[in-house]
Every structure is written in C-alpha cells, then in structure tokens.
Amino acid sequence: MDIKPIRILFVDDDKFLLDMYSLKFSKNNFEVHVTEGPEEALKVLKEGPEPDVILLDVVMPGIDGIELLSIIRREKLVKKSVVIMLTNQGLPDDISRAKELNVDGYIIKATTIPSEVLSEVQKIYSSLRQQQQDGL
C-alpha cells in the first residue's frame, strides 16, 4: 500500500532555500509546493487544495510571514493545515506574535540543518494529526 504524500507549501523569498528544502522534503514522502512570497502564497491558498503543512518565513518583502499568518487565520484560508514558522527571526517578540496566531511550530533556520528541519516538521505534523484523531 502506498502512503499518501504529505502536501507541503513553502513560503519564502529565498529561492536557494526553497530549492534546497524542496529537494530534501520531496525525497521524504512530501508533495512540495513553493511560493516566492506572501502574495503568491495567498493566491495558492485561495485556489486550493489546502496543504497539509505550511512553512512560513517571517522576513519577506511586503507582507511579512506573521502578517501573512494573520491574514490566513482572519480569512480562514486553511482549516486543518499545520502551520510552522521557518525563519531566522528568533526574537521572543516574533515568537510570541506567532503563538498569538496559533502557530503550530517555530523553527530557527540558522541553527537547524535541513535534515533537522525535516524531522521537526514530521514530528510536529504527526503529533498534531494524532491529537486531531484522538479528538474525533
């Protein structure tokens, strides 16, 4: 039996990082979609289908990742997606702003190698999916 791939959306303005994470995740049962910025991400989310996981950078031109998360929550663009910040912004203020918007995880890029990002995303996703199933 084939295991259904986990649909993941990366939102970052750094093409090198998008390419690197795309490669890493696509080799590990993820169906990878990337957007180079928040405006493109909003378009993708409005058109569907809803990703299983969304990884957001904080620092991007125009709308930052936390503001993007605020829009996603306010407009109810996702119902079940696991939302994780993947950023170099590790200030307590940034983390608390993200937590106020019910972010599911917060990973600091600068201190985490891609394989650790992958395992952390898998861990957060599995844990939240298990909680959702237990809550049914």
What value does the mean pLDDT take over residues 54-77? 93
Six token digits for residue 44: 């993708």
Give the C-alpha distances (Å, rounded to integers) separating 13 from 38, 60, 70.
9, 6, 18
What value does the mean pLDDT take over residues 118-129? 93
Task: Please state the pTM of the whole predicted model.
Answer: 0.92
> Per-residue pLDDT for 136 more than 60?
no
| pLDDT tens sequence across 37-50 | 999 999 999 998 99
The H-or-E segment that residue 114 falls in is helix 114-135
What is the chain's Cα-based Rg? 14
Question: For the chain, which domains are there?
Answer: 6-135 (3.40.50.2300)
